[in-house]
Structure 1
Amino acid sequence: MSRFDTYLQSVVVRAEVEAKEDSSATIDAHHLLLAVAAQDGTDAQRVLHAAGLGYEALKDALHREFAHSLAAAGVSLDDFELPRASQDPERRLRPGASFKLAMERMATAHRKKDLHSGHLLLAILQAEVGTLPRALALAGVDRAGLIERVRSAL
């Protein structure tokens, strides 16, 4: 197994943990991004950290996006104390659409032997719609600028 394969496997395993903690039905791109941010010592993690997007900052941005999305439907998180969803620890989550699209973007843009952590980050950040772009926009992140930083790091 290549170094990148080992990295990708650890990111996907961590993304599944993030999705389970989120009580999500699927593993999505924002779970991948959290997993990338949690992988200490990688180029991708360093680019995120330099942009002020460490793991906790991303968690906060995603929480704000969730609250904002609920507010758009007329629901306020402050009005409810939501219990944690019960989880089946044996249940394996499937990749969601945003996860699959990120993997497809990465696989079609680069040869497998050339892949590094930054390529995965780039593929995740290139999503035009969904939870992740909304969360980054609400956090005031210049997504295009961040994408350019990742490309420069590659």
Structure 2
Amino acid sequence: MTVFHKYVRTILEQGAVEAQRDGSAAIEAHHLLLAIASVEGTDAHRVLVSAGLDRAAIRAALDREFAHSLASAGVSAAAFGLPPASPGPKPAADMGASARLAFERGFKYGAPRSLRPAHVLLGILQAQFGTVPRALALAGVDRDGLAAAVRQELADETA
């Protein structure tokens, strides 16, 4: 098994677990981001942690985004005391549109056989719309600066 296949399988498996925790039927980009933050020892994990974005910080940002989205529709999450999501009966097997697009964008940064965690992270960070960009903006994260740090990490690794 190549490093590429091992990494992709690990991220997809962890992304499926994250989707299951959220009660989601499909793996989306935010599940991949949580998965990347959970897999220690990768270039992408190092960049995220150095920016203060461990798994807990990303989960908190996603929770803020959810509450903010509800508030935009005039609904207060705090007023209703919503219970946490009910985990699905089994890990999600399908990739949603945002996850597929993240991988497609990631392939632009690295050849398919040499795709690394940082390439997938770049694919996630390049999204202009969706849950991840809104969550990171609400958390005060400079996505362009974070993407530049990822590109630098990739350059350092290949030099």
Q: Provide TM-score, normalisation by structure 1.
A: 0.93
Residue deviations 1:46-105 (CA, integer Å, cap 9, x gap): 000000101100000000000000000000111112234545424644211100101111
Partner of 2:34: 34
Structure 1: state its 5+ residue gaps: none
Are the structure 2 counterparts of residues 87 and 45 from structure 1 closer, same or farther at C-alpha, using a change threshold of 3 Å?
closer
Shift of 1:33: 0.3
Aligned mates of 1:144, 1:79 — CA distance in 2: 35
The residue type equivalent to 2:97 in the other structure is A
Task: Kindly indicate whether residue 10 of structure 2 is the aligned counterpart of residue 13 of structure 1.
Answer: no
Matches within 5 A, 1:1-154: 1-90=1-90, 92-154=92-154
Identity %: 53
Any idea what SS the aligned residue of 2:40 has? Answer: coil
Q: Are the equivalent residues in 1 in contact too, given 2:17–2:92 (CA < 8 A)?
A: no
Q: Are the equivalent residues in 2 in contact too, given 1:4–1:117 (CA < 8 A)?
A: no
Structure 2: state its 5+ residue gaps: 155-159
* Structure 1 moving runs of 4+ over 4 Å: 84-88
Q: Are the equivalent residues in 1 in contact too, given 2:4–2:116 (CA < 8 A)?
A: yes
Are the structure 2 counterparts of residues 80 and 147 from structure 1 closer, same or farther at C-alpha, using a change threshold of 3 Å?
same
The residue type equivalent to 1:141 in the other structure is V
